[in-house]
């Protein structure tokens, strides 16, 4: 099997976390030379986005949530979903809240920062309010342990860790790390994530991807 991935993508990072946690022999590569809009890549995934998992029989599976669900079903051990429907729903809810209510305003904030002519202050403040609220929602549903859902590593960590990386990035770029400081649970979680070998590995890959991106933009 092969995963087409970008180091900096939070969506691809989510999949790599599952792959590393399960110790799966999946080759992780960048897109073809022509990129994700090349005819070669679009033949595998007409959506034209990464990540993309290609199975040994040539079947292509796009979209990070679909990929991690596939990996969980195809390779159930070690399990990244807890036993019981309520516990499983909570893991999925944490991941969903992180994606919809935290990651979405983060991307909006980064777009404002990079906007031609500079950011619009009123728009930035509105986005920061949504982000502040979103992190609050996320913290409400997170567990008390070192991991997103409590004491055990789950699929929720595959979403929250990359999103947390982007929260710190966006707030740093906006000069508003004070907002992160108000959210002690997420801040503590990101510190704990650096102690987990799988999460630390992916955070390192994302940091390298960010450096490469900034170097290419110079």
The CATH number linked to 13 is 3.40.30.10
Query: What was the pLDDT predicted at 216?
Result: 87
pLDDT in tens, 113-165: 999 999 999 999 999 999 999 999 999 999 999 999 999 999 999 999 999 99
Question: What pTM did the predictor assign?
Answer: 0.95
User: What number is the average pLDDT over the span 171-187?
Assistant: 94
Give the Cα-Cα-Cα angle 212, 65, 34 (nearest 5 degrees). Answer: 40
pLDDT tier at 217, thresholds 50, 70, 90: confident
In a domain, 141, yes or no: yes
Number of domains the chain is built from: 2
3-state secondary structure of 3: strand
- C-alpha to C-alpha distance for 119 and 61, rounded to whole angstroms: 37
pLDDT in tens, 6-52: 999 999 999 999 999 999 999 999 999 999 999 999 999 999 999 99
Distances (CA, A) of 163 to 31, 41, 181: 22, 26, 16
In a domain, 80, yes or no: no
Residue 118 is classified by DSSP as -
Statement: residue 62 has pLDDT above 90:
yes
Residues 63 and 108 both lie in one domain: no
Query: What was the pLDDT predicted at 218?
Result: 74
Residues 141 and 160 both lie in one domain: yes
Is there a contact between 99 and 59 (Cβ–Cβ < 8 Å)? no
Domain boundary among 49, 74, 99: 74
- C-alpha to C-alpha distance for 40 and 32, rounded to whole angstroms: 7
Is there a contact between 205 and 10 (Cβ–Cβ < 8 Å)? no
Query: What was the pLDDT predicted at 163?
Result: 98
Virtual CA dihedral for 212, 10, 195, 178, nearest 10 degrees? 90
What rounded mean pLDDT belongs to the chain?
97
Give how far the C-alpha of residue 41 lies from the chain's centroid of Cα atoms, to the nearest Å: 22
């Amino acid at each position: 099997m092969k995963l087409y991935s970008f180091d900096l993508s939070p969506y691809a990072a989510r999949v790599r976390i599952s792959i590393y946690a399960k110790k799966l022999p999946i080759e992780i590569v960048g897109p073809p030379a022509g990129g994700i809009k090349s005819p070669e890549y679009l033949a595998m995934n007409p959506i034209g986005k990464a990540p993309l998992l290609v199975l040994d029989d040539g079947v292509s599976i796009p979209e990070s949530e679909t990929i991690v669900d596939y990996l969980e079903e195809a390779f159930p051990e070690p399990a990244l979903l807890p036993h019981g429907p309520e516990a499983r729903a909570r893991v999925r809810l944490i991941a969903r809240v992180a994606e919809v209510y935290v990651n979405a305003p983060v991307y909006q904030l980064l777009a404002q920062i990079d906007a031609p002519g500079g950011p619009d202050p009123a728009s930035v403040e509105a986005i920061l309010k949504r982000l502040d609220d979103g992190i609050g929602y996320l913290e409400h549903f997170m567990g008390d342990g070192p991991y997103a859902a409590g004491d055990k590593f789950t699929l929720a960590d595959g979403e929250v860790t990359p999103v947390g990386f982007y929260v710190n990035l966006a707030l740093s770029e906006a000069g508003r790390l004070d907002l992160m400081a108000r959210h002690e649970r997420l801040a503590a979680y990101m510190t704990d994530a650096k102690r987990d070998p799988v999460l630390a590995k992916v955070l390192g890959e994302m940091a390298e991807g960010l450096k490469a991106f900034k170097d290419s933009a110079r």
